[in-house]
């Protein structure tokens, strides 16, 4: 237990009997939840953690072999749940963590009561006329090449696009700082796993009730993706947010809290 707690920098706060586990997205860490966690800690037990390779996790535990697919990150989630002997959890995942949480729930559905997905995508790449994910293969190749050649340049390029709230420059800077503080090699490998993953075939295996929170004007996950997920995930609800960008829990915490709270009640 203590190995996992240290490895994934696990924090336990809050007062409630039911547990919410928050899973951060690519290029981020548990601090990205700081604007919405206070709204839940009076009534829920909150679990925060960093995936291995992110935040203040134990970077020495990172291996390319384990984290070359999303399954390594799925195992991080299951390890944290088992170390703390959790059950009937609410898993709130941002971006790629939405799929990580879903895959974990398919493997061990008895651990999960609800899934809440913020800006989720089962597939970021377009596939002819069959599927629109928002990116061409050449877009992802360029992104990965930029990360390799000029990591700081990549961070300053992607942060304003992903945040998409130019009237809040401090938030863009905060995201850029989060990107740049990650290990460049690990970040590139996580990016490759994230943007080249395809979890569409797993959607029909998911049985846990799911809330899909789709931002308006999200440059990373277009509206069609949220609609696709809703059509293909049984027992799911789709909520279109007024929030712009890919990080509503940072840029629009009040709306994010309101939608989650309404769903949980």
Residue 242: enclosing H or E segment and its boundaries?
Answer: strand 236-244
| Phi, psi (degrees; rounded to nearest 5) at 210 | -135, 135
Strand order in the sheet with 11-14: 11-14, 45-48, 19-23, 89-94, 112-118, 210-216, 236-244
| Whether residue 156 lies in the annotated active site | no
Buried-exposed string 56-78: b where 16+ CB fall within 10 A, e elsewhere: ebeeebbeeeebeebebbbbbbb
| Whether residue 246 lies in the annotated active site | yes
Q: For CA atoms 130, 134, 36, 188, give the dihedral sign.
A: positive
Catalytic residue, candidates 29, 50, 76, 218: 218
Q: Report the distance separating Cα 33 and Cα 70, nearest Å.
A: 21
DSSP 8-state symbol, 254: H
Q: Report the distance separating Cα 208 and Cα 123, nearest Å.
A: 20
| Whether residue 218 lies in the annotated active site | yes
Select from 175, 174, 173, 162 the least CA-distant residue to 246.
Answer: 162
Catalytic residue, candidates 24, 94, 246, 249: 246
Residue 23: enclosing H or E segment and its boundaries?
Answer: strand 19-23
| Phi, psi (degrees; rounded to nearest 5) at 18 | -85, 150
Catalytic residue, candidates 24, 50, 79, 95: 95
CB 49 within 8 A of CB 76: yes
Select from 189, 188, 177 the least CA-distant residue to 150.
Answer: 188
Annotated active-site positions, please? 95, 218, 246
């Amino acid at each position: 237990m203590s190995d996992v707690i240290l490895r994934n920098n696990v924090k336990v706060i809050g007062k409630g009997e039911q547990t919410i586990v928050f899973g951060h997205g690519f290029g981020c860490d548990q601090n990205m939840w700081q604007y919405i966690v206070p709204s839940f800690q009076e009534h829920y037990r909150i679990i925060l953690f960093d995936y291995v390779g992110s935040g203040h996790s134990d970077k020495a535990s990172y291996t390319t072999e384990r984290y070359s697919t999303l399954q390594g990150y799925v195992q991080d989630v299951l390890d944290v749940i088992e170390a703390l002997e959790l059950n009937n959890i609410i898993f709130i995942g941002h971006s790629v963590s939405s799929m990580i949480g879903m895959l974990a729930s398919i493997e061990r559905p008895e651990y999960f009561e609800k899934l809440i997905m913020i800006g989720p995508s089962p597939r970021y790449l377009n596939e002819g006329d069959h599927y629109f994910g928002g990116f061409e293969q050449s877009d992802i190749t360029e992104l990965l090449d930029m990360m390799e050649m000029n990591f700081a340049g990549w961070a300053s390029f992607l942060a304003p696009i992903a945040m998409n709230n130019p009237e809040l420059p401090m938030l863009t800077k905060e995201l850029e700082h989060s990107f740049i503080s990650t290990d460049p090699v690990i970040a590139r490998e996580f990016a490759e796993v994230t943007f080249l993953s395809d979890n569409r075939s797993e959607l029909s295996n998911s049985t846990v009730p799911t809330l899909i929170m789709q931002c308006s004007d999200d440059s990373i996950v277009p509206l069609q993706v949220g609609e696709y997920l809703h059509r293909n995930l049984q027992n799911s609800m789709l909520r279109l947010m007024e929030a712009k960008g890919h990080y509503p829990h940072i840029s629009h915490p009040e709306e994010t809290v309101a939608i989650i709270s309404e769903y949980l009640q």
